[in-house]
Amino acid sequence: MEYYLVKWKGWPDSTNTWEPLQNLKCPLLLQQFSNDKHNYLSQVKKGKAITLKENHRALKPAVAEYIVKKAKQRIALQRWQDELNRRKTHKGMIFVENTVDLEGPPSDFYYINEYKPAPGISLVNEATFGCSCRDCFFEKCCPAEAGVLLAYNKNQQIKIPPGTPIYECNSRCQCGPDCPNRIVQKGTQYSLCIFRTSNGCGWGVKTLVKIKRMSFVMEYVGEVITSEEAERRGQLYDNKGITYLFDLDYESDEFTVDAARYGNVSHFVLEMYLQILLTTAQPKREPELCANVEL
């Protein structure tokens, strides 16, 4: 008869018990147990697959240890996913997935929705004027007042070239939340998944729905620091071969965004992107951030 060692939810390990299969009413946990066991035994080590004879009276310690670690990782990732969705203020949901290794949530990353100014930096930038349009798509709206084109078409897709600044309507405008010139400020509208890549590029991001080309996906958010502090951090990041620094301004290099510790989902897009550059041995170059960036 098969017995399973059961860890009871809310109880310490000292209360674990061996239970026969017929006592277990948890098909999902049993399926996960079976999958984790199969995944471990399917791993290739030194060119040979690890196998386990069925006549063993118990799982080998290495197999049992892997299954326990995988279960703990699954719980940790679920808690992190729940925390991300509690913190985010946008419409789209955030999912977390790791089917590659035993890596858990990043230990030194904090999710934020807006720029986080470093001590001594003020980001108060109140709008000085607003439009009085009835239909911002056809009238002289905020972009025209700033001397640029409206960034979006009727399908809410970006129609201006990458690197061009975007001017959206603001709190002084008379238009409502459905204004066609309010896209970035609404945040991510799509459900996204932070996943562990299988090619050694760390964490990445994938979409769970089809997204039309040139549609806004997310804003690059992080800690706002001075250019002097960015130079200091940049030297440290260069030693690690990776950086999350992007210039914030168009007309001056007064501030820089650093999403290494504080950021949103875009942190993991950049992590995967930079790891790919390192993996393919591309020459290093300092990335340049504009309000409209296409990767």
Report the alpha-carbon distance of residue 163 to residue 292 in Å, rounded.
Answer: 5
CA distances from 236 to 106, 202, 226, 259, 289 (A): 19, 19, 16, 14, 20
pLDDT per residue as tens digits for the range 133-187: 989 989 999 999 888 899 999 999 999 988 888 899 998 999 988 999 999 999 9
- The confidence score (pLDDT) of residue 121 equals 86
- The confidence score (pLDDT) of residue 115 equals 92
Domains of the chain: 3-44+60-89 (2.40.50), 110-293 (2.170.270.10)
Q: Residue 173, annotated ligand binder?
A: yes
Mark 162-189 as b/e (b = at least 16 C-beta within 10 Å): eeeebbbbbeebebeeebbbbbbeebbb
- The confidence score (pLDDT) of residue 224 equals 93
- Low-confidence stretches of the chain (pLDDT < 70) are 44-57, 125, 249-253, 271-295
Q: Residue 142, annotated ligand binder?
A: yes
- Determine contact, residues 111/263, Cβ cutoff 8 Å: yes
Q: Which long-range contacts (CB under 8 A, 24 or more apart) does 196-201 make?
A: 196/97, 196/98, 196/99, 196/100, 196/101, 196/103, 197/100, 197/272, 197/275, 198/100, 199/279, 200/275, 200/279, 201/271, 201/272, 201/275, 201/276, 201/279
The DSSP secondary-structure symbol of 120 reads: T
- Determine contact, residues 143/150, Cβ cutoff 8 Å: yes
pLDDT per residue as tens digits for the range 228-242: 999 999 988 888 777
Report the alpha-carbon distance of residue 23 to residue 120 in Å, rounded.
Answer: 61
Q: Residue 133, annotated ligand binder?
A: yes
Q: Are strands 3-6 and 17-20 parallel, antiparallel or unpaired?
A: antiparallel
Residue partners of 221: CB distance under 8 A and separation at least 6: 112, 113, 114, 115, 257, 259, 263, 264, 266
- The confidence score (pLDDT) of residue 58 equals 74
Report the alpha-carbon distance of residue 33 to residue 27 in Å, rounded.
Answer: 10
- The confidence score (pLDDT) of residue 216 equals 92
Q: Find, among 84, 91, 83, the residue nearest to 218 by Cα.
A: 91
